[in-house]
A and B are shown apart, each in its own frame.
Chain A
Amino acid sequence: MPVNEKAKLVAKEELILGIFKFSVVAPEIVEQAKTGQFIEIRVNDDIEPFLRRPISIHNMDRKSGKLEFIFQVKGKGTEILAKRNVGDLIDVVGPLGNGNFDYSKYEKIGIIGGGIGVFPLYELAKNAKNDGKDVSIYLGFRNKDLVVLEDEFKNVSTNFILTTDDGSYSKKGFAIDFLKEDIENGKVDSIYACGPLPMLKAVQKLAIEKNIPCQLSLEEKMACGLGVCLGCAVKTSDSTKEAPQYKHVCKNGPVFDAKDVEI
C-alpha cells in the first residue's frame, strides 16, 4: 500500500554531469517496496512544476530504511530537485507499481540496461546475487562520458559486460549482442531489461525468438502514479486494430512480461 512520506535527504552526489544520486530515509516505503517498483516525488511545495516526478528505486537498505534513487536533470522539475540540500525533507509517494522483477524461478539471470535505464536494475542484480544466482549484467552507454555505476554493477555480478556505442570505452557495440551470444551459449535463462525504447524492442524480439522468459521495465508519461488518471497507457499484445487494449505503467507495471505488451 503506497504511503506519503517526508523523506530526509541524507546524501547527494553528482555521479556524472547532470546525473544525481540521492539517498533518503523513507522507512515506511522501504519496508514494503519490491524490486522494480518506483516512487513519485514532489520537487517543491508549489503548483509549478505541477506534477510529481516518477523515479525508479535504485537501491534500498531494509535495516536503515534508506532508499537511493538516481535521476538525470532533464527539465525544470529535475533541476529543482537537484538543488535540494542534504537535510531537506523530500515529499515522496511510494512504493508504486504492481509489476515487479521476479527471478525466483530462474538461475542464470541476464540483466540488460541502457543509459539512464540502468538505475532500477541495481536492486535487482544485488538481490539476485545475494540469493546465489548467476548474474550476468550487460550495460550499454552511448559513449565514455555517459558511463555510470560500473563498479557498483560489477560488484553484484558474476559476469559483467559494458559497451559503448562508439567504442570510446570498454567494448564497442551494443549490449544486446553480447547478451544474445550468452543466451546461445546457455549462460542466461531469463532476461530483465530497462533502457531506451529501441533497446527494449530489440530485447523483446530476442527473448521471443529464443523463447526465453523476459521482463521489461517500461516508462510512459505519467500523472497520478496510482492508477487513477489512466494516463500512462501501454498497449497489450491481445490488442486488435479495431479494439486496442491498454494496461498502465504505474498500476500494472512498471515491469511487464515481454510477451504481454506491444511497445
Chain B
Amino acid sequence: MNTKVNLAGIEMKNPVTVASGTFGYGREYSEFFDLSKLGGIITKGTSLKPRSGNKPARVCETASGMLNSIGLQNPGVEYFAENDLPFLRKYDTAIIVNACGSSIDEYVELCRILNTLDIDGVELNLSCPNVKAGCMAFGNTYEGVKQVTSEVRKVLDKPLIVKLTPNVTDIASIAKAVEDAGADGVSLINTLLGMKIDINKRRPMLANNTGGLSGPAIKPVAVRMVYQVAQAVNIPILGMGGIVNGDDAIEFMLAGANAISIGAGNFIDPYTSVNTVKGIEDYMKKFNIDDINSIVGTAEMN
C-alpha cells in the first residue's frame, strides 16, 4: 500500500499536512504525538518582521466551525529560523513555511531569506482576510496573484505553493494566475470572510468585526473549489477546509487534491491529523487501493 505523495516537488510519506495557523510551529502538538507521522507541517504564517496581531476578541464559535481574526501574530522569520526550525527539523516530516507580507517587496525579501533555510517549501499566503495590507489584497485578482507570485518565483528555488482565498468570484482564474506565474502548486481554501453579531450587545463578536470562517461548515465550498481548480490547472493541489477525518480527506482527493491539510480540526482533538492518516489507510484497505495517488481527481461528475 503506497501512501507517499509528491506535492509540488515535496516528497511526503502521506498526504496529510497541518494547515497554517492551526499548528503553531509544532511544539504544542508534539506533546501529544510524534510529528514524524505527518506528511508535512505548514507553519504558522510567518512574516519578515514580528507582528503582534489583532485586538481581542480574536476567535468565536459558529455553527460547526469558528471565526478567527488573529491578524498574523508571529515572531518573524529570523526568530523562526533560530528557534523553531531546528526543533521542527528533528522530525522526519516535510516543513513548509507559510509566508505572508504587506507589500511585494516584503514578500520577495522574506522569500529570499526562506530560500536559504533548511525547509522543504514555501506556501505563499495571498489569502489572509484579517490584515489591512497585503495578503488577500493581492490574492483576489488574477493580476495581483500573478505579479506577487512571479516576483517571488525569481528569488525562490524551493517548491512554491500559493494559498488562495475563496473570497473571489472565479477561483479557477486565480489558480491559473498561480500556474502562469510559474509556481509549483496551489493550496486552497483559506478562510471565508464572515461575521457574527452578539445579539445581546448588538455588536460583532470579533474586535475586528469580521474574521475568517473555518471548520466543517466550509467543507462543501472547499470541495467545490478544489474540483474547479483541478479542472483549470495542471499543478498539484493541497486541499483544505473543514477536514476532520479520513473520509473528509478522501473527499478532497477525489475532487482533485494531491494532498490535504487539517486546519481547525486540530483544535477540537489534538489527534485529528494522525487519526486522518489512519482513516485514509482504512479507506484504502476497504477499497483495495494500492496507491493513494490513483484516486486523485477520480470523482465522476453526474
Residues of A within 8 A of B (CB): 1-4, 42, 47-52, 77, 91, 93, 220-235, 243-246
Chain A residues with CB under 8 A of B31: 1-2
Q: How far is the CA of A226 from the CA of B31 in the complex (A)?
A: 10
Are B53 and A233 interface neighbours, CB within 8 A?
yes
Count B-side interface residues using an 8 Å CB cutoff: 37
Tell which of B17-25, B107-115, B167-175 binds the partner: B17-25
Asked if A223 meets B66 with Cβ closer than 8 Å, knowing A228-B23, A244-B55, the reply is: yes
Contacts of A221 in B (CB 8 A): 56-60, 205
List chain A residues, Cβ under 8 A from B65.
Answer: 50
Residues of B within 8 A of A1 (CB): 31
Bits for B34-63, please: 1 = Cβ < 8 Å to A, else 0: 000000000000000000111111111111
Per CB-CB distance, the 3 closest pairs between chain A and chain B, nearest first, are A231-B59, A228-B24, A226-B28
| Partner-contacting stretch, out of B90-98, B184-192, B266-274, B281-289 | B266-274
**Given contact pairs A2-B31, A224-B266, a sample of 17 additional A-B residue pairs in the complex whose CB atoms are under 8 Å apart:** A1-B31, A3-B32, A4-B270, A49-B61, A50-B63, A51-B61, A51-B268, A221-B56, A221-B59, A223-B59, A226-B29, A229-B21, A229-B22, A229-B68, A229-B70, A229-B267, A246-B73
Closest A residue to B26 by beta carbon equals: A228
Is B88 interfacial (CB-CB < 8 Å)? no
B215 on interface, CB distance cutoff 8 Å: yes
CA distance A229 to B269 in the complex (A): 13
Q: Roughly how many angstroms separate A223 CA and B267 CA in the complex, as a whole number?
A: 6
What residue in chain B is nearest A244 (Cβ atoms)? Answer: B52
A51-B66, A226-B28, A227-B24 as given contacts; A234 in contact with B56, CB under 8 Å: yes
Smallest Cβ distance from A71 to chain B, in angstroms? Answer: 16
The answer for the CA separation of A91 and B215 in the assembled complex, in Å, is 20
**Contact status A232-B59, CB under 8 Å:** yes
- Tell me whether B226 is interfacial, beta carbon within 8 Å: no
- Min Cβ gap A163→B in Å is 26
Q: Which residues of B contact A223 (CB under 8 A)?
A: 59, 66, 68, 264, 267
Kindly list chain A residues whose C-beta atoms are within 8 Å of the C-beta of B61.
49-51, 77
**Contact present for B52 and A231 (CB under 8 Å):** no
Q: Main SS of chain B's interface residues?
A: loop
User: Which chain B residue shows the least CB distance to A53?
Assistant: B61
Residue ID in chain A nearest B245 by CB atoms: A47
CB <8 Å contact, B59 and A50: no
- Quick check: B28 and A42 within 8 Å, CB to CB? no
Among A4, A228, A243, the one with the most B-chain Cβ atoms within 10 Å of its Cβ is: A228
Q: List B145-162 residues whose CB lies under 8 Å from chain A.
A: none
Across the interface, do A246 and B53 meet the contact criterion of CB distance under 8 Å? yes
A50-B70 contact, Cβ under 8 Å, with A229-B21, A229-B22, A231-B59: no
- Interface residues as binary, B230-249 with A (CB distance below 8 Å gives 1, 0 otherwise): 00000000000000100000
Give every chain B residue within 8 A of A47 (Cβ-Cβ).
Answer: 64, 215-216, 244, 268
A48 with B28: CB separation less than 8 A? no
- Once the chains are docked, how many angstroms separate the CA of A188 from the CA of B58? 36
| Nearest B residue (CB) for A227 | B28
Show 25 residue pairs from A and B whose CB-CB distance is below 8 angstroms, ordered by the A residue: A2-B32, A48-B63, A50-B63, A50-B215, A50-B264, A51-B66, A52-B268, A221-B56, A221-B57, A221-B58, A221-B59, A221-B60, A223-B59, A223-B66, A224-B266, A226-B29, A227-B28, A228-B22, A229-B22, A230-B73, A231-B68, A233-B53, A233-B56, A233-B73, A246-B52
